[in-house]
Amino acid sequence: MARDSESGLPIEPVYGPDSLTDWNPAERLGEPGSYPFTRGVYPSMYTGRPWTMRQYAGFGTATESNARYKQLIANGTMGLSVAFDLPTQMGHDSDAAIAHGEVGKVGVAIDSIDDMRVLFGGIPLGEVSTSMTINAPAAVLLLLYQLVAEEQGVPADRL
């Protein structure tokens, strides 16, 4: 059953090969929830599963941010979006001279695996999706996150 978009255009529940006319869909379209995922990663996409609700959060220490994440989850948040402080975003440790005055101001300070353990302590990483907005030290922070998830027993393919 078609419905209308906010613009008044009809929206079909699922689009198939007949919906496309300018390329060969049989070669590249795929089914919803199947490779090559051109129609979404879930068979019913967001008609059967709601969008993940997140709040960009993180401030001060890993302990303070962990308490906020637990509060958000207890109140219905389905995913976490980690806000890192500026020194962390730039790849500086909190005790670096250049970080003075910025540690924990606009996000959470993460300097080590121990900080990451505290940040996600008591949060089931296999059940709660996590988003991190990070630039320069992305590879290091992703590794720390993966290590903490593995310590919780979450396989890498579930992250």
Residues in the chain: 159
pLDDT tens, N- to C-terminus, the chain (159 residues): 668 888 888 888 887 767 766 655 555 677 888 887 877 788 887 777 677 888 899 989 999 999 999 999 999 888 999 999 999 999 999 999 999 999 999 999 999 999 999 999 999 999 998 999 888 889 999 999 999 999 999 988 887
- Distance, in Å, from the CA atom of 110 to the CA atom of 65, rounded to the nearest integer, reads 11
The identity of residue 39, as a single letter, is: R
Closest CA to 136 of 88, 101, 83: 88
Residue 36 buriedness (CB in 10 A; 0-12 / 13-18 / 19+): exposed
Beta bridge partners of 132: 82
pTM for this model (two decimals): 0.72
Distance separating alpha carbons of residues 159 and 156, to the nearest angstrom: 6
Classified as helix, coil or strand, 132 is strand
